[in-house]
Chains A and B, each alone.
Chain A
Amino acid sequence: MTADRRLAPTARPALWRLARVDFDTVRQRPVLQYPEGAMLLNDTGAEILALCDGQRTVAEIAAVLGARYGADVLADVTSYLDALAERELIRTAADAPATPPLEASHHAP
Chain B
Amino acid sequence: MRPDARPTTLLAELTYRCPLHCPYCSNPLDLARANAELSTDDWLRVITEARALGVLQLGLSGGEPLLRKDLETIVEGAHKVGLYQTLVTSGLGLTRARAERLRAAGLDHVQISFQDSETDNAERIAGIRSVEHKRTAAAIVRDLGFAFTINAVLHRGNLDHVGEIIDMAAAMGADRIELANTQYYGWAFLNRDALMPTRAQLEAAEPIVEAAVARYKGTMQVLYVLPDYYQMYPKPCMGGWGSVYMVVAPDGRVLPCQAAWQIETLSFDSVRDHPLEWIWRESPAFTAFRGESWMQEPCRSCERRTVDFGGCRCQAFQLTGDATQTDPVCVLSPHHGLIEAALASGAAAASGAPRPAGAAVGTAVGTAVGTAVGVTVDAPAEPPAYQYRGPVRAAAGA
Question: Real complex partners, A and B?
Answer: yes
Interface string of A10-39 (1 = CB under 8 A from B): 000000011010101111000101111110
- Residue of B with least CB distance to A88: B221
- Known contacts: A18-B147, A22-B82, A88-B221. The answer to whether A33 contacts B54 by CB under 8 A is no
Q: Which residues of chain A come closer than 8 Å to B82, judged between CB atoms? A: 22, 24-25
The count of A-to-B residue pairs whose CB atoms sit within 8 angstroms is 60
A38 and B109 form a contact (CB under 8 A): no
- Known contacts: A24-B56, A95-B218. The answer to whether A33 contacts B6 by CB under 8 A is no
- Known contacts: A36-B86, A38-B8. The answer to whether A26 contacts B53 by CB under 8 A is yes
Number of A interface residues, CB 8 Å?
23
CA distance A27 to B53 in the complex (A): 10
- Residue of A with least CB distance to B56: A38
B145 and A35 form a contact (CB under 8 A): no
A interface secondary structure, majority:
loop
- CB contacts under 8 Å to B, within A65-93, are 88, 91
Q: Which residues of chain A come closer than 8 Å to B219, judged between CB atoms? A: 96
Interface string of B166-185 (1 = CB under 8 A from A): 00000000011000000000
- Known contacts: A22-B82, A26-B6, A38-B8. The answer to whether A33 contacts B56 by CB under 8 A is yes
Q: How far is the CB of B200 from the nearest CB of chain A, in Å?
A: 26
A36 and B57 form a contact (CB under 8 A): yes
- CB contacts under 8 Å to A, within B171-227, are 175-176, 213-214, 217-219, 221
Q: How far is the CB of B398 from the nearest CB of chain A, in Å?
A: 27
Q: Does B366 contact A (CB under 8 A)?
A: yes
Q: Does B26 contact A (CB under 8 A)?
A: no
Partner of A38, one of B52, B84, B217, B366: B84
A88 and B86 form a contact (CB under 8 A): no
Chain B residues within CB distance 8 Å of chain A: 6, 8, 51-54, 56-57, 82, 84, 86, 108-109, 144-145, 147, 149, 175-176, 213-214, 217-219, 221, 366-367
> Could you list 20 examples of A-B contacts with CB < 8 Å?
A17-B175, A18-B108, A18-B175, A24-B54, A24-B56, A24-B82, A26-B52, A26-B54, A27-B54, A33-B56, A34-B84, A35-B86, A35-B108, A35-B175, A36-B57, A36-B367, A38-B84, A96-B219, A107-B144, A107-B145
* The 8 nearest A-B residue pairs measured at CB: A107-B145, A95-B218, A18-B147, A33-B84, A38-B56, A35-B109, A26-B54, A35-B147
